[in-house]
Structure 1
Amino acid sequence: MGSHYFRKIRASAAVLALICGTGFAQAEPAHGIAMYGAPALGPDFVSLPYANPNAPTGGRIVTGETGGFDNLNPHIRKGSTPWQLRFLAYESLMGRSYDEPFTLYGLIAESIEVGENREWAEFTLRPEARFSDGSPITVEDVMWSYETLGTVGHPRYHGLWNKIGTMEQTGERSVRFTFNVDDRELALLVGMRPILKKAQWDGKDIAESGLDNVPIASAPYVVDKFEAGRYVSLKRNPDYWGKDVPFRKGTNNLDEIRLEFFGDSTAMFEAFKAGEVTFNREFNANKWAEQYDFAAIQSGEMVKATLPHERPSGITGFVMNTRSPQFADWRVRDAMLHAFNFEFINQTMTGGAQKRITSYFSNSVLGMQEGPATGRVKDLLDPFAESLLPGALDGYSLPVSDGSERNRAGIRAALGQFEAAGWTVQDGVMKNAQAQPFTFEVLLKQGAAENQSIIDLYTSALGRLGITPTVTVVDNAQYKERTTNYDFDMAYYRRGLSLSPGNEQYLYWGRDGVTEPGTRNWMGMDSPAAEAMIGEILTSASRDDFVAATRALDRVLTTGRYVLPIYQWNISRIAHVAELKYPENLPIYGDWIGWNPDVWWYED
C-alpha cells in the first residue's frame, strides 16, 4: 500500500509549487495548537484544568449499555462495536482539551509545526511512545494508520485522507502532512487520528477483522476480557508509556472500565439499582425526579449529580429519509412535524420537564437566531435564496401545539401541507392521486423502550390523518446494517455537535452521503447551501465569520425539516456509586467524551 514512505502523490502543480516555496523556517515547534488564537495552556502546563493531577489510582467503573456488539475494531465499517473503544484504547498524535472550543496538546507527538497558512503540519513523535505490547510507536506505524484508515477504514476517516496531498517522513521521529485544499482545520484534524500497530495486521485484512483480532492498544487501557454481546472489560496498563505526559496527568485513574450490555433500558436500570452497574446517565427528567429514590440513593451508597454544559444541543429525534419517495417532498416533512405533538408527548413522557431542541446548534452561541436572517448570515445565504426552503431567510420556528392530545391546529396544518404535496384523505386513508396509501416504516432498535413509547403516541396521532405506519424493532446488528445502508424510512437519530464544527459536517450533511453508505447523513440531504456554509466554516479567518457561517448552516439544516426533534439535554443527570469521584472544575463541554471516565477516580 503506497511506496516505502507511504507517500501519497496526489498533489497538483499548484500545491507542489506551494510546497517548494514553503520553508521549514516559517514555523517553530509548539506544544499545542488552537483553531483560533493560541492554546490557553502554556508549554509548561501540569495537567488539563479539569483533571486532578493528584487523583489516586485504583477501583473500577461499570457502565450499562443497551444492545450488543460483534466486533472489537471500532475503525472499520463491519459489524457493531462498543463506541467507547475508539476513545479508550487508542491514542492519537495530539489530544483535545474539552475546556476550549478546539485546542489540541501533544500526546504521542511531542510537538507540532505548521506552515504560515497551515498548508502543512509536521509532528515529532515522543521517543518514549509505546504500544501496549511494549513496542515503540514509529513514523511507519503512523503513516500506515493514516493511509489504511483513509482508504479501507470507516468512511469517517476518508474525508481527511482525500485532503492530504503528500505524507512523508522528514526525520527519524517526524512526519509531515501537506494538504491539497485551503482548510485551516486540517492541521488540527490530522493530529486526531488513532494510531494502530502496523505489524499486527501484516497478512490480514483489517477491513474484515472482528472478535478474533483484539487490536493492540496505544492508549492507557487494553481489552482484558469480553463476551460477545455481553460485556467488555478494559484494564489499565500499568506500564502505559504516557503517564507523565502533561495531557495525561490526572486522567485514566481507574484500574478497570467494564461495559455491561443489556437487552433493554429497563433491565439496565434494574441492574444499576442492584449495584451491578455503578454509573448511570439519565435522560428523562421525570424519571430522574421520581424513580431515583431507591434504597442505595437513600443510604448514600449512590449519589446524584446535575451538571451544566455550554455545548450545542445537537439533534435528537426521528429522522426522515429523503431517499424514500414518501419524504422527498419538504411539504410532507413539514406536515409530519405539525402532526408530531411534542408538547403532549413531553407531558406524557416527562411531565413537561424537558425543553425541546429548537435547532441543531441550539443552546449555544452558534445556534440560529430568531427572526429573519441579518448581517453576515444573510449575506452568506442570499446567493442560495432560490433553493432555500421557506423560513431559512425570513425566519422559522418549530410548530407548537396547545398541549392537548387532539392537536387540532397541528392536524389541520398537516392536512394542508399533505394536500399541497398531492395527498388527501380518501375513505379515511391518506392517498395520492393514484389512490396509493401513504405509509412508511419506522425502524427502532431493540430495547429502546422510550423511543417505542414516543412512536406509539405519534402513530396514534397519525391515525387521525389516515396514516398507519409500520414499526419494526430489530436487534443491534440489524439496526447497524440497515442504517449504514440507509435501509429505512424513519429511524431514531442522534448527532452530538461541538462548539467547533468543521470537516465532520461534510460527513453529517454532505452530498456524498446521499449514495455512499456509512455516513451520518441519514436524511439523505443534498444541499448546495449547506455545503457552501461548511466551506465557509472551514475557511473563516475570524471568529465572527465562523459564528455567522455556523448560524447560517443551522438555518439550512433546521428549515430542511429532516428530523422530528425531541428533548434538549442542556444539563447532564448522572447517578453513581459514592466511591466514584470527579473534579469540581468542569470543562465547558461538561459531561462529554474526554471527561467521563477519563478524569474520574475511585476513592474508598
Structure 2
Amino acid sequence: MITELFQPLVRTSSAAALILAAGFATAEPQHGIAMYGDPALPADFEALPYANPDAPTGGKIVTANVGSFDSLNPYILKGSVHWQMRYLIGESLMGRSLDEPFSLYGVLAETIETGPDREWVEFVLRPEAKFSDGTPVTVEDVIWSFETLGTVGHPRYHGFFEKIATLEQTGERSVKFTFNTEDQELALLAGLRPILQKAQWDGVDFAESGVDILPITSGPYVIDDFDAGRFISLKRNPDYWGRDVVPFMNGVHNIDEVRLEFFGDETAAFEAFKVGEVNTNREFNVARWEGQYNFPAVTDGDIVKSVLPHKRPSGMTGFVMNTRRDQFKDWRVRDALIHAFNFEFINESMTGSAQPRITSFWSNSPLSMEAGLATGRVAEFLAPFADDLVPGTIEGYTLPVSDGSVRNRANIGKALEQFEAAGWSVQEGALKDADGNDFTFEILLQVGASEPQAIIDMYVETLSRVGITPTVSTADSAQYKERTDAFDFDMTYYRSGVSLSPGNEQYSYFGIDDADTIGGRNMMGVKSEAVDAMIDRLLTSDDQDDFVAAVKALDRTLTAGRYVIPIYQWNISRIAHSKNLHYPENLPIFGDWPGWQPDVWWYEE
C-alpha cells in the first residue's frame, strides 16, 4: 500500500513566497516572532496548521537506529548520544513552526519582546511551566541554563553565549538578554536554547555526565528505561504541564511511548522492521524501497508506504575532504577527486538513476546559487574577495557530468590534468609528487553504513584508474564520533541540513573561528574570509533582497570551493510504517523534519 501526499503542499504557493516578507514586527510583547515580518499564526491560534488537535493519545512508536550510545545527555560534548534525544526530552522558551521559514511561538515563554533593532529580547515565563518532577521553571533556571550551556555545554551553544552582553532577571517571571553585536537572529536563537533544572546539577560536574544522570527537563517525554547501546524508552509524562496550556503543543506528542532500538548495521535494522520489532522505518535507499518492500506485512496492508514531499533545501550529502590535511589543501586536487567520482554510474547502480544529484548546498530552493556569471548584489558581495576566491565562484561552477559508462574517460582525463597542475602525476602506475611520494588518503566510514560503503567501493575502483589506492577504515559509532569530533579523518561521509532561514549556525558549519573547535561542525575545515563575510551579510541584512543575495553568494563560495563530493538528494521522504501510526494530511513546508515524527503523529488501531 502506497500513500503519496503531494497535494497538501499546494496550499503554500511556494517557499519563496514565504521568505519574501520584510521588516521586523513591532517592538512590544508578542505571542511569537519571525525572522522577517510577523509570524503567520495569530495570537489566538489553536494549534499548528500541520497538527491534529483531535488526535487520540496512546500507543507506541518504535524506530530502528544504526549505531550505539553511551550517554543520555544531549547537551554536552562527552559521549555518544542519539541525535533525536535533544528534541524528545528538551524544551525551550519558544518552539519552531515547520510551516514557516523561521517563526517561533511561545512554549515555556508566554510572551516575547524585542528592541527596535533586536538589540535585546525579553521573555516572560508562563506561570504554569513545570519540570517533570513538578517543580516550577524559574528565571533562575533559565539564566543558569544559558550560562552553563554557553561555557561547559556542547560547543554548539558557546557562540551564542559569547554574543550576550548582559543576562538579567527583570521581574518575577521575566528575563532579558542584551546583545553585544549586531545580529538580528539572536533574539530568535535565545528562544530555542534548552532549559534545564539548575537544582539537579548542584555539586555535579555537568560536562562529565553520561548515562548515570538523566536530565530533568520540562518536555512531554521522560526517559523511562534504557539499556546502554541497545534501546531507550521514553514515556509521555501524564502530568506534562503544557498540553492544555500551550497552543503550540495542541495535538503534539500524542504517542505514549517512543522507543529507540539500536542495531549494528542497516541489514539487522531492516530485518527488525520486517518482523515487527520496529513499526516505522525511514528509507533512504530507493532501490530497496522499490525492490525489497514486498514482505508479507506490506502485501497484507499492515505496513503502509508513505511518500512525503517537502520544500526545504537539499543541504549537502556526500563525502567531505578535510582541508586540514595537506593533500586536500589545493582546490585542484579536490576538483580532480570530484571529476574521478563517477556520479552517473554510481547513481544508476544505487538508485536506478531515480534521484537527482545535489548541485549546491541550497539546491532545490529559492536560495540556491544561480548558474553562470554572478550578477547584481551577489557579484557586489563577492567582488572584494575576487583575488582569493576559487575559480568558478564568480564565473560560475557546475559539477562534472559523465557519460554514465564505467570508464568515465573524459572526466578521468580532466582529473589527471588537475592532478598534474597541482604537482601530481602517474609514475609506474601510482600517482606521485615530484619527490616520488604516493598520493593516498584514508576514507573513514561508520560500521553498518551500507550505502556509503557501497558507493565508496565503486569510487575506490575508479580511483585506481588515476593511480590512487586509498585506505578505507570503519569505526563503531563511539569511535567514529570521537575521530570526527577531533577532525581525525581525511575523507568521510557527510550530511549537513540547511534551512530556508540560514543564520548563526552557518558560523558553526563553515566559519573560521569554529574551524578547529573540537566537536564543531566545520568538517571540511574551510577558513575563508569570503565565507565569513557572506554569513555576516545574511545576519545583518535589512531587507530580503540582500539576505537572499548573501545566501546565494555563500552557496557559490562553498560549492565552488569543492569541499564535498555531492551525491543524490532526497526531495521526498519515504517512510514505511504500521497502519496504526497516522499523521495529519496537511504537511509543513519542511516536510519530514525534526519536530514532525513522532511529534504530530498518533497511534490508532
TM range (shorter): over 0.9
Matched ranges for 1:170-249 at <5 A: 170-244=170-244, 245-249=246-250
Matched, 1:379 2:367: no
Matched, 1:577 2:581: no
- The equivalent of 2:100 in structure 1 is 100
CA-to-partner distance for each residue in 1:494-519, whole Å, 9 max, x for gaps? Answer: 00111100000000000123221111
CA distance in 1 between partners of 2:519 and 2:567 (Å) = 24
Matched, 1:440 2:441: yes
CA distance in 2 between partners of 1:443 and 1:355 (Å) = 25
- The equivalent of 2:5 in structure 1 is none
Matched ranges for 1:282-321 at <5 A: 282-321=283-322
- The equivalent of 1:491 in structure 2 is 492
SS at match of 1:232: strand
CA distance in 2 between partners of 1:355 and 1:296 (Å) = 30
SS at match of 1:143: helix
Match for 1:425: what amino acid? V
CA distance in 2 between partners of 1:387 and 1:230 (Å) = 49
Aligned-pair CA distance for 1:249 = 0.0
CA distance in 1 between partners of 2:347 and 2:121 (Å) = 48
CA distance in 2 between partners of 1:508 and 1:501 (Å) = 11
Matched, 1:272 2:273: yes
Gaps of 5+ in 1: 1-25
CA distance in 1 between partners of 2:523 and 2:596 (Å) = 28
CA distance in 1 between partners of 2:128 and 2:152 (Å) = 29
Query: What is the root-mean-square deviation in Å for CA atoms of aligned residues?
Result: 0.7
CA-to-partner distance for each residue in 1:173-228, whole Å, 9 max, x for gaps? Answer: 00000000111100100110000011111101110001101111210000000001
CA distance in 1 between partners of 2:528 and 2:110 (Å) = 40
SS at match of 1:171: coil
Match for 1:183: what amino acid? D
- The equivalent of 2:594 in structure 1 is 593
Matched, 1:132 2:137: no
Q: TM-score, normalised by structure 2?
A: 0.95
CA-to-partner distance for each residue in 1:4-31, whole Å, 9 max, x for gaps? Answer: xxxxxxxxxxxxxxxxxxxxxx832110
CA-to-partner distance for each residue in 1:270-319, whole Å, 9 max, x for gaps? Answer: 11111111111111112111111111111010001111100000000100
- The equivalent of 1:349 in structure 2 is 350
CA distance in 2 between partners of 1:477 and 1:284 (Å) = 24
Matched ranges for 1:85-96 at <5 A: 85-96=85-96
Aligned-pair CA distance for 1:587 = 0.4
Match for 2:327: what amino acid? Q
- The equivalent of 1:252 in structure 2 is 253
SS at match of 1:513: coil
- The equivalent of 1:463 in structure 2 is 464
CA distance in 1 between partners of 2:173 and 2:515 (Å) = 40
Matched ranges for 1:300-449 at <5 A: 300-449=301-450
CA-to-partner distance for each residue in 1:88-125, whole Å, 9 max, x for gaps? Answer: 10110000001000000000000001001100000000
CA distance in 2 between partners of 1:444 and 1:196 (Å) = 34
Matched, 1:65 2:60: no
CA distance in 1 between partners of 2:478 and 2:493 (Å) = 15
Matched ranges for 1:525-544 at <5 A: 525-544=526-545
- The equivalent of 1:160 in structure 2 is 160
- The equivalent of 2:504 in structure 1 is 503
Aligned-pair CA distance for 1:422 = 0.4
Match for 1:494: what amino acid? R
Seq. identity, %? 68
Match for 2:416: what amino acid? L
Matched, 1:547 2:558: no
User: Which runs of at least 4 in structure 1 moved beyond 6 Å after TM superposition?
Assistant: none
CA distance in 1 between partners of 2:466 and 2:397 (Å) = 24
CA distance in 2 between partners of 1:561 and 1:230 (Å) = 38
CA distance in 1 between partners of 2:225 and 2:217 (Å) = 14
SS at match of 1:272: helix
Match for 2:500: what amino acid? L
Q: Work out whether residues 139 and 172 of structure 2, in 8 Å CA contact, stay in contact via their aligned partners in 1.
A: yes
CA distance in 2 between partners of 1:234 and 1:33 (Å) = 31
CA distance in 2 between partners of 1:356 and 1:293 (Å) = 27
Gaps of 5+ in 2: 1-25
Matched, 1:141 2:149: no
CA distance in 2 between partners of 1:217 and 1:503 (Å) = 25
